[in-house]
Amino acid sequence: MSDQKPRKYCGNGVQSGDFYINLSLKKSQLDQHFFEYNGEQYVRLTVGKNREVTQYGKTHSVWINEYQPDDNKSNNTQKATVNAGDGLPF
């Protein structure tokens, strides 16, 4: 785990019922992580369940997903994504 970069947290959330998580995100921490793909703006995020509920009742955390595939894998991944037909780069 020491090889991983520290996470850049940008928000948190609360589980609402069995299926939903209500999230609050900090726009100021997201702005610099947007990228363009096919004329649209995207940001990659990861949502994880907290080990314990925080003192404010938060059950989940949100952080910037900074995963960058190496060059050899990105070509294969990109082809698989195109074949999937969703049009998104991830």
Over the stretch 34-45, which tens digit does the pLDDT of each residue have?
A: 999 999 999 999
pTM for the predicted model, two decimal places = 0.67
If phi > 0 it is left, if psi is from -120 to 50 it is alpha, else beta; for residue 36 that is beta
Over residues 10-30, the pLDDT tens digits come to: 999 999 999 999 999 999 999
Distance CA(21)–CA(23), nearest Å, equals 6
